[in-house]
Structure 1
């Protein structure tokens, strides 16, 4: 069954502003990114990469001039929180990033507050973090826990737990504070609208043309080694991201929730992006090793290292819920550590030994040989 794909053409200035401010506060310059990417790509792509990142660098320098880097509110919302890619602002706004919801600022605020309240009030949801998000999954064995206990069970220090508890409890107040910062950045960013429209327009046109000739199954096969027709067939939205130009993020792998998929693709990428083949950065290596160090993910990979298995089968063997298995598979998929295929109306998973071996070999080379 073919999946309906829609490429979103509008620029979300608030999401782009959050990413840009995070880069500015944490001194992640596009010039440094350019030098790193040029080392890892074919020379045939260098001219385009330099053009795009030089444009973003000009924007970054200009926005930095309009940003008070000593403002305690800005530092609070945009300093790293738990990982090098995460901050309070991203956690607060992630429910907007995870959806296609659109509307006025007040409507978006209500949507985010409702999403935060659902996390606070649903005692069946276990909380965890990955490199980019606050994650939720259904507790194993039908467990339940109150909100404060679920926060307390997170693997972070007490100060971080308190910040997160306070953020969720008072999300409306924090959104008001965040919007005061973002409104100024958006106003400055809109002065570069011509450049932003050009960069996004070119990337958007590429994906519109791609989906006129290919389907989403083919793209998922190219990106994540998922065999065609092996993925849940739901309407899918593709968003090209400008400031997060070097990142591909897929939302919606949970087969038990949601009625659409959402794929964010940085403007530097085309259909040849492949998780298991591209050169891994130090941060990506660290993320991969974190996955392998998680006991549940480690046992899942061991169980499917030689034979494929479907979700319920893995859940029964490891005494986990199918929702938890789906959550783990989503994370493993994003680093290309599993292959997925459909057979007899079941979705089967198997370790991608090539990708796991590559992760370990690169780690060994970085630590012992470079």
Structure 2
């Protein structure tokens, strides 16, 4: 793991990338809204890969990597904790031996979960109540109930679909994927502190010195122009899966107009405006914000991710909890930038 600045580290992870691939395969049409650079070859690869899968495999992907729950991505911190995030064979062996309680514990952290923790995973009523109080959509709550009660098959189903995607799609392309990783790591390693903040500062208000103790950046080809943020309050470690295109954009200073357009879209979205207005009243953590605005976990997660990427809201760590707040200064700057771009002022 390479230290690039203070508490920032960069590392390549085939395991995280494999999970990112599975999420992308199941949600590639939904994620097609991503814009910016032309990416026909990327789209063709995803579409061609998806066409190789059987209907049964597609159903299993939708079970564990649905955009409204992304259960398969909840293992990020657990895999880091056990140092099983580099080597795929070691990851698969670890998964095969993993106790079901640890699997369901990870699944229960999907999205902005309740701050309360399950004390006894063998207590069906306690688990039932915890799932019921979550902000997952009802359909995903029902799915999680089933996965919990069908524990004999749940682990084997997940392991089987991961092994299949790894064998059919990831391994045949691993050299190409790793080349993207190496290029991104090289670029991240050459960034100055200001450029690194462009990637992470939209999420954490670094200038108030409340960053996690350790921040790990893992480039992801399949997250492309998106990012995944995972934080553990127990270890005070934040892990980012950073799309390789985000890294490219950070290196390219000439694309200011694209950013202004993205800001304009965000500030014209009704739900995003509601979130910003609520966070202007007072900082809130994700679960609380979802409850306050009557939004599901995936909905609030999606909007917070976009707003954070643009810097319109920032995260503030207090007593190892992540609170979100509106970035009033950047909102003012965004409105001014839109005005400057659209209005030709007399000289």
Q: TM-score range by the shorter chain?
A: 0.5 to 0.7
Equivalent position of 1:228 in the other structure: 207
Deviation string, structure 1 residues 300-357 (Cα, Å, up to 9, x no partner)? 53146xxxxx99xxxxxx9xxxxxxxx9xx8775663445789xxxx99863235567
Equivalent position of 1:201 in the other structure: 182
The count of residues paired between Structure 1 and Structure 2 equals: 289
Q: Tell me if 1:245 matches 2:227.
A: no
Quickly say closer, same or farther: Cα 1:289–1:28, change in 2 above 3 A.
closer
Q: Distance in 2 between matches of 1:267 and 1:219?
A: 14
Deviation string, structure 1 residues 153-208 (Cα, Å, up to 9, x no partner)? 34566543221122244456223213322322222322222321222221121112
Deviation string, structure 1 residues 229-272 (Cα, Å, up to 9, x no partner)? 622351221111111111123322x7x53332211110101273
Residue 232 of structure 1 aligns to a residue whose secondary structure is: coil
Counting only pairs closer than 5 Å after superposition, residues 117-266 of structure 1 correspond to structure 2 as: 117-118=104-105, 133-139=110-116, 146-155=126-135, 158-170=138-150, 173-189=153-169, 190-210=171-191, 213-214=192-193, 218-219=197-198, 222-224=201-203, 226-228=205-207, 230-252=209-231, 256-266=233-243
Equivalent position of 2:18 in the other structure: 14
Equivalent position of 1:75 in the other structure: 59
Counting only pairs closer than 5 Å after superposition, residues 108-123 of structure 1 correspond to structure 2 as: 108-111=95-98, 113-118=100-105
Structure 1 gap segments, 5+ residues each: 39-49, 121-126, 305-309, 312-317, 319-326, 362-370
**TM-score where L is the length of structure 2:** 0.63
Residue of structure 1 aligned with 2:71, choices 81, 91, 94:
91
Equivalent position of 2:52 in the other structure: 66
Let me know the Cα RMSD of the aligned residues: 4.7
Quickly say closer, same or farther: Cα 1:232–1:156, change in 2 above 3 A.
closer
Q: Indicate if the aligned counterparts of 1:5 and 1:216 stay in contact, CA closer than 8 A.
A: no
Equivalent position of 2:295 in the other structure: none
Q: Distance in 1 between matches of 2:272 and 2:150?
A: 31
Q: Distance in 2 between matches of 1:291 and 1:94?
A: 28
Equivalent position of 1:302 in the other structure: 281
Equivalent position of 1:351 in the other structure: 326
How much has 1:67 moved relative to structure 2?
Answer: 1.1
Q: Tell me if 1:336 matches 2:316.
A: no
Deviation string, structure 1 residues 255-306 (Cα, Å, up to 9, x no partner)? x5333221111010127399x955449996799816836xxx86553146xx
How much has 1:17 moved relative to structure 2?
Answer: 3.2
Equivalent position of 1:42 in the other structure: none
